[in-house]
Structure 1
Amino acid sequence: MKKLLITAGVVGMSITALAACGETEVSQVDKSEENTASAEEADTEEVDAEATEEDVANLEDELFKVGDTVSIDGVEITITNAEFTEPAEYSSPEGKVLTLDVEVENNSDDKAMVDDTEFSLYDENGSLQDKYYSYDEMAISGSINGGRNNSGKLYYDVTEQDAPYELTYNPMFVWDSVEITFEIDVD
């Protein structure tokens, strides 16, 4: 009987804890020079915990561009640059090396893990592009405390094309499944 009461208590607390978890907030952040308001007053297309699943899906369906900042539960992700770079001296990629510069700012109170494994790059045919691991500098990876930031790079061995690539980001730090897509146009 004692085990049954303990089990029922643990199950009840687990259900309560999971019910307290809200929807993931996803928003596009306006980082223009004209925007000098605080983060709480920033002009955003905010999707809050009371938003419908359709609202979240609409923002997830949006294609963000290089330079756009997307906030997911207070963690802002920006792809700041995309360019083809020379391969490492002793490594020959099958295609060209595409390097993406990433900036992350954690405006939440919690730690957030951001890692290159959360990003996937696709060509115009929807084919997944391989990561490129031959540089001395590692791709972005780290746990970022609240109020802190990090920057790093993503490296891909890509087939050259005229059309933009699509970079998807599936963060591990959220409870529900969120996918944000960036259109990567390389000049």
Structure 2
Amino acid sequence: MFIITIVFLAKKKKVKGVLISTIVVFVLGLASLIGAIGTMASYGEDDSGSSTKMADESSKSDESEEKPSSNNDKMKQKGDTVEIDGVEFTLQGSEYIDDRNEFSDVQADKVLKVDAKIKNNSDSEIPVMSEFKVYADGEEVDTYPSTNIQDMLTGSISPDRAKTGSQTFAINGNPEKLELEFKPSMSFSDERYVYDLNP
């Protein structure tokens, strides 16, 4: 409206050309400044919204990293099957055995035999070495050299194949709680499953 008034006065020759140019440039500059401020304000709102969103996503990812996956929350039992990185594990049982290896340097009040099945669901051959550990009252126990080498759960498994065998452990004293922890030896995942052992 202001510009229309200036143009009208210029036609009646009541305002000089230089003054008109100055006023028009000033008005256009003011309009540009107001537009720039409005744009910056809306950008700031979008930016703060996105930073809030990023912070929310970051806190959610932190929570998911801190919390183990829901399938790990529950203690596993004999017969339960779990899988990590294409390696499937089933605890088939555990028992104390009388067999002793006379050549072993490992001290054992009792020898615990753990029977398990491992299946390779990946598309490449996997080695089977130390896929699980045993803990007595929260402390890892030593493996015990088995007298039955053919029954041991070692070697390698081809894709879509399974292997059943056992591993023996040295138990000393009378622990109140025995647990087995499964994690494939070649896995880079932090995921693991814990089984309650009742030999």
Shared fold by TM > 0.5?
A: yes
Larger radius of gyration: 2
Q: 2:182 aligns to what?
A: 169
Which among 110, 113, 121 is matched to residue 124 of structure 2?
110
More strand by share: 1
1:155-186: CA deviation from partner (whole Å, max 9, x where unpaired): 01113537341111221333322222111111
After superposition, the CA RMSD in angstroms is 2.4
**Aligned residues of 2:96 and 2:113 also touching (Cα < 8 A):** yes
Which among 67, 78, 88 is matched to residue 66 of structure 1?
78
- Mapped to 2, the partners of 1:53 and 1:155 lie a distance apart of 33
Identity %: 29
Paired residue total: 133
More helix by share: 2
1:128-152: CA deviation from partner (whole Å, max 9, x where unpaired): 2121114141631122111111111
Q: 2:69 aligns to what?
A: 57
Task: Compute the displacement of 1:90 (Å).
Answer: 2.7
2:110 is aligned with what amino acid?
Answer: K
- TM-score by length of structure 2 reads 0.58
**Aligned residues of 1:163 and 1:185 also touching (Cα < 8 A):** no
**Aligned residues of 2:146 and 2:167 also touching (Cα < 8 A):** no
SS at match of 2:115: strand
SS at match of 1:130: coil
Q: 2:163 aligns to what?
A: 150
- TM-score by length of structure 1 reads 0.61
Alignment partner of 1:180 is 2:193: yes
Query: CA distance change for structure 1 residues 152 and 134 in 2, over 3 Å: closer, same or farther?
Result: closer
1:79-126: CA deviation from partner (whole Å, max 9, x where unpaired): 1011111123636843101001111112222222222x23221112x1
